[in-house]
Amino acid sequence: MTTIEPRPAVAAPLRFPAGFRWGTATAAYQIEGAARADGRTPSIWDTFSRTPGKVLNGDTGDTAADHYHRMREDVALLKELGVGDYRFSVAWPRVQPTGRGPANQRGLDFYRRLVDELLDAGIRPVVTLYHWDLPQELETGSDGDSAVGGGWPHRDTAERFADYTGYVAAALGDRVATWTTLNEPWCAAFLGYAAGVHAPGRTEPAAALRAAHHLNLAHGRATQALRAVLPASAEISLTLNLHALRPASRSEADREAVRRLDAVGNRIFLDPVFHGRLPADLVRDTAALTDWSFVLDGDLETIATAVDSLGINYYAPTVVAAGTRTAPPPSPSPWPGAAAHAEFRPPAGPRTAMGWPVDADGLYELLTRLRGELPHVPLLVTENGAAYHDYADPEGHVHDPERIAYLHGHLGAVARAIADGAAVRGYFLWSLLDNFEWAYGYSKRFGIVHVDFASQRRTLKDSARWYAGVVARNGLA
Ligand code: FCB
């Protein structure tokens, strides 16, 4: 009797729309190093990483991937990958060391050289103005309102951000077409000022809500500053780490927990930026913490200054059940107004080295949600990727099949969302290089290029070669 071998399902090759933008992403503090070079002063991350116990192994960004001195080599890597776009961030404390006052020409010059190098290589620069490195002076400086302290809870920080944006726009505006004001304001506000696990490490939930509003305001004021000097063709954007929230069950209580997290995790940014309003349920949920009187007349109009696209960073979904806790949570929570009402349920299945579940459907869910809620807003996936325990083998190769599988699955989710009508225009892989992964220091490797931090030697991982193939054929094999 002959048996018929089951044949593996052969999926048709997946193609992306013509003109789809392929890129990689990085952030200044995570790769640049050169913490004291050319007039740069400390940011809140320099201070936080030097505070014992805040960052794993006491790691700091002092040297990081030394990109400041190896920029040409890194742009050559991008060229080798064949990407058409590169998303990087500008370090505010390089450009305006005290956070106020005149610009530091030497700081701006570094970014001019980087932009020139990219353009020479045929790569479009995508500039993020704020990826968490607030000049320390603005956190602790003398003009902070003593009731709320300095930093983002202090309204003035939004104005200072608009000034700084003006300097960067004047220096690079003729050569940079795509601008992102803020990266993940949720993390800046709630990990930084409520949970205290990111810089500046404060655990003040009411201040975190103020910080979120002032980050929104900074985005609006920066958008206005950019519009004032950039050509009409410039694309202005904002990047959010929207949370893909799923109720653990269909119960009313679990869905109510999701609603609360959605208010303080997602709609706290989406509603002001795209609709010029605060979510009414958020105001209700947080009434015990604040009356929101720091939202002044005109703020919401400023925040709703039109943008041209929205950036989405996605790593993993969040499964939520109604809270059953009777005692307060064991550590400060990044979810003011929601923490006591929700519990997180880690989904089953594979995980990355961060412990984050591998679940590409969450990305599809987010992109199709936005298709429904913001049908006219073009979307960019500005970060997506995974950390694994990579190492160079004796032949110097770095095999990272799990990362390739992760990326394959997530690009499939993007393709599905596009096929179902989501206006996704590009994808930026996080990250080009292994780097300083915030509170995890150098222990987590997200790069598609391996960095040996002792020698600063770069090695393309298998995933880098795989991604170059995706870019070249504008699709998955
Ligand atoms: C995002 C950050 C980015 C990187 C990835 C893993 O939240 O924007 O800097 O750390 O996570």
Copy the structure tokens of residue 44.
């809140």
- Where in the sequence numbering do the catalytic residues fall? 184, 383
Domain range 14-476, its CATH number among 1.10.1840.10, 3.20.20.80, 1.10.10.10, 3.90.1300.10? 3.20.20.80
> With bands split at pLDDT 50, 70 and 90, how would you rate the model's confidence at 379?
very high
Does 383 contact ligand 1 (Cβ within 6 A)?
Answer: yes
Residue 393 CA, chain-centre distance (Å), reads: 31
The pLDDT, as a whole number, for residue 358 is 98
From 186, 382, 438, give the residue whose CB has the most ligand 1 atoms within 8 Å, as the site to mutate. 438
Does 382 contact ligand 1 (Cβ within 6 A)?
Answer: no
Average pLDDT value for residue range 336-358: 94
Q: Separation of 452 CA from ligand 1 center, angstroms?
A: 20
Cβ burial of 475 (10 Å; 0-12, 13-18, 19+) is middle
Secondary structure letter of residue 349 according to DSSP? S
From 59, 313, 434, give the residue whose CB has the most ligand 1 atoms within 8 Å, as the site to mutate. 313
Residue 227 CA, chain-centre distance (Å), reads: 23
Does 187 contact ligand 1 (Cβ within 6 A)?
Answer: yes
Give the percent of the chain with pLDDT over 70: 97
| Phi, psi angle pair for 461, to nearest 5° | -80, 165
State the pTM of this model: 0.97
User: H helices then E strands: how many in the chain?
Assistant: 17, 15
Ligand 1: atom nearest CA of 183 is: 8
Average pLDDT value for residue range 51-77: 98
Is the model more confident about 346 or about 246? 246
The pLDDT, as a whole number, for residue 30 is 99
> With bands split at pLDDT 50, 70 and 90, how would you rate the model's confidence at 142?
confident
The pLDDT, as a whole number, for residue 325 is 76
Give the percent of the chain with pLDDT over 90: 93
What tens digit of pLDDT does each residue of 414-455 get? 999 999 999 999 999 999 999 999 999 999 999 999 999 999
Rounded to whole angstroms, the Cα distance separating 380 from 180 reads 11
Q: Is the peptide bond before 431 cis (omega within 30 degrees of 0)?
A: yes
Rounded to whole angstroms, the Cα distance separating 426 from 93 reads 29
Q: Separation of 291 CA from ligand 1 center, angstroms?
A: 31
Q: Separation of 25 CA from ligand 1 center, angstroms?
A: 10
- Using only C-alpha atoms, the chain has a radius of gyration, in whole angstroms, of 22
Average pLDDT value for residue range 12-17: 88
325-358 burial: b if 16+ Cβ within 10 Å, else e: eeeeeeebbbbbbbbebbbeeebeeebbbbebbb
What tens digit of pLDDT does each residue of 278-296 get? 999 999 999 999 999 999 9
> With bands split at pLDDT 50, 70 and 90, how would you rate the model's confidence at 324?
confident
> With bands split at pLDDT 50, 70 and 90, how would you rate the model's confidence at 268?
very high
Average pLDDT value for residue range 104-116: 98
> With bands split at pLDDT 50, 70 and 90, how would you rate the model's confidence at 326?
confident
From 67, 430, 431, 442, give the residue whose CB has the most ligand 1 atoms within 8 Å, as the site to mutate. 430
| Phi, psi angle pair for 112, to nearest 5° | -60, -45
Rounded to whole angstroms, the Cα distance separating 360 from 379 reads 17
Q: pLDDT averaged over the chain?
A: 96
The pLDDT, as a whole number, for residue 22 is 98
Ligand 1: atom nearest CA of 446 is: 6
Q: Separation of 184 CA from ligand 1 center, angstroms?
A: 8
The pLDDT, as a whole number, for residue 149 is 84
Using DSSP's 3-state secondary structure scheme, residue 45 falls into helix
At position 232, the amino acid (one-letter code) is A
Q: Is the peptide bond before 125 cis (omega within 30 degrees of 0)?
A: no
Copy the structure tokens of residue 446.
């997200």
Using DSSP's 3-state secondary structure scheme, residue 18 falls into coil
What tens digit of pLDDT does each residue of 77-96 get? 999 999 999 999 999 999 99
Residues contacting 8, CB < 8 A, separation 6+:
none
pLDDT of residue 1 exceeding 50, the answer is no
Does 254 contact ligand 1 (Cβ within 6 A)?
Answer: no
Does 430 contact ligand 1 (Cβ within 6 A)?
Answer: yes
Report for 1-10, 133-142, 303-312: range of highest mean pLDDT: 303-312
| Phi, psi angle pair for 345, to nearest 5° | -115, 105
Using DSSP's 3-state secondary structure scheme, residue 469 falls into helix
Residue 40 CA, chain-centre distance (Å), reads: 23
